[in-house]
Amino acid sequence: MPLGNVLLLLHAHLPFVRHPEHEEFLEEDWLYEAITETYLPLLEMGEDLEQEGVHARFSIALSPPLCEMLADPLLQGRYLRRLHRLIDLAGREVERTRHEPLVNRTARHYLDSFRRARSVFEDEHGRNILRGFRRLQDAGRIEILTCGATHGFFPLMSSAEAVRAQVRVAAANYERHFGRRPAGIWLPECGYRPGQDAILAAEGIRYFCVETHAVAYAAPRPRYTIYAPVRTPSGVCAFGRDIESSRQVWSASEGYPGDAAYREFYRDLGYDGEEAYVKPYLHADGVRRNLGIKYFRITGKVPLNEKQPYDPEAAAGRARLHAGNFLFNRSQQARHLAGMLGRAPTVLSPYDAELFGHWWYEGPQFLAELLRQAGAQTDVLFSTPGEVLSSGARVQRATPTLSTWGDKGYCEVWLNPSNDWIYRHQHVVEGRMVSLARDFRDANGLAKRALNQAARETLLAQSSDWAFIMNAATAVPYAHKRFKIHVESFHRLHSQLRAGSIDETLVSQLESRHNAFPEIDWRAFAPEEKR
């Protein structure tokens, strides 16, 4: 009998970025980098563990925007084109560094990795890696959660109808990609407001995940704090994040990714290489950017120009060591909690998936080794939220509090002077979309197309990514532009629908550019009593 359960949950999400009107687009690189460095390694990890017969399991939340991009033929083709260029560049690097043994070994590592990525992406999965994740779930190897339709931030939406549409569209999209309805949902930004569990229950959701204080301060206070799920008034269960296990990975001072042997993210050939040499592998604008070939390790708290050469084999050894340490700590934690609580604890360890591979290059190696070691011991069981709920253990009833993850835990990342202006516009769009869904229940033909596109524009405007980017002060002009484009596109469609004069050219253009959710039904926004 295990001392406790560890629920390893990875949240995979990127904003919907797709620009067919441009041959190349900088922000599309977010997707291409994540496919190579995170999503393909995670898929390979799942498949390798299945072949090895490892019983330890993990869960992954694949957001609808990410699913739509991964399944999009245009983006698939563009990614493959990028990968071919990286293979060519890595081949040139192997030749260029042939007299530098350590650097040459790293260059060969990249060439092998890129070639393997191409094989897995194109040959094994026909360019659509969602099929691989679906097969792993169907085989009982992983559990896949959904998310809000466009990662919209539920606590700051203007109405229950606006939240309900995010959940309805997400559930329908999940069913199209994975052949079943979702059992679990990753609430965008772990944002929860009391009462929203009823919306999840109406769509058949069994559980969701929240930040620590949402469960720790639930009413009544849970007897087992965050170390057991709680059942909300609607019957949906909530799992709270464990701080201790998160800190060992996330913490800038204590976390594993800061180890001196691991790859340094901020030294990249795109900046280090001779301009004429790397220019053919940049975008047409020639602006230097990351290419994914990095030859230096973290080394320590030293300037970038003092970083030491990276050794992939030494880094892999550290990943194995850290995996063993993480497992040992979970075993000790479970032993302590079981004695204190009088029952086997459930420890939820959730992370952004993009940490593993993209920001922490060795992260997928860490996860694979962790699950291998976990499958070979009996102290703690690495399982999934669905398994825990199916075990038959009694679950206390409680109402989680308003909460988010992120700085300070109460919405401030998504509502502050850098981004508060967006909500007056978002709420107007939401209200008008709900009115359209109420007043045009039986539309068909061009009106139906316009209504469905208006629903897409509403959902895309709701994306929490725009507020997050504004707060982080990264690609702020792009976030401003995207939010305004979706708001303005909605208002043009709304005006034409109300006037009874719809411009088919406009509808077609928007359908081509913002083509997420082909299964969408605008009535997802309809008030419940009139749907």
Residues classed as catalytic: 189, 352
175 in Cβ contact with 205 (< 8 Å):
no
d(Cα 380, Cα 405) in Å, to the nearest integer? 26
Q: Give start and end residues of each alpha helix (H) in 158-302.
A: 160-178, 197-202, 212-216, 243-250, 269-272, 275-278
Beta strands in 47-154 (DSSP E): 58-62, 142-147
* Residue pair 517/460 in contact by the 8 Å Cβ criterion: no
Residue owning tokens 């070979």: 376
Bridge partner residues of 6 (DSSP): 347, 382
8 A C-beta contact, residue 358 and residue 38: yes
Report the alpha-carbon distance of residue 247 to residue 254 in Å, rounded: 7
Paired tokens of 2: 């295990």
Number of other residues whose CB lies within 10 A of the CB of residue 252: 7
Helix (H, G, I), strand (E, B) or coil at 4: strand
Radius of gyration (C-alpha) of the chain in whole angstroms = 24
Q: Answer whether 13's CB lies under 8 Å from 355's CB.
A: no
Two tokens, residue 54: 């490892």
| Identity of residue 475 | A
Q: Which residue's structure tokens are 């708001």? A: 487
Tokens representing 439 are 């007043």
- Cβ pair 198, 400 in contact under 8 A: no
Rounded distance, CA 380 to CA 374, Å?
A: 7
- φ/ψ region of 424 (left if φ > 0, alpha if ψ in -120 to 50, else beta) reads alpha
Write a three-state SS string for 290-310: CCCCCCEECCCCCCHHHCCEC
**Inter-CA distances, 101 with 31, 98, 104, 262, Å:** 32, 7, 5, 19
* Distance separating alpha carbons of residues 109 and 104, to the nearest angstrom: 8
For residue 3, give the amino acid letter: L
Whose CA is closest to 15, among 331, 443, 472?
472
Q: State which H helix or E strand residue 73 sits in.
A: helix 73-96
Query: Tokens for 491?
Result: 């208002």
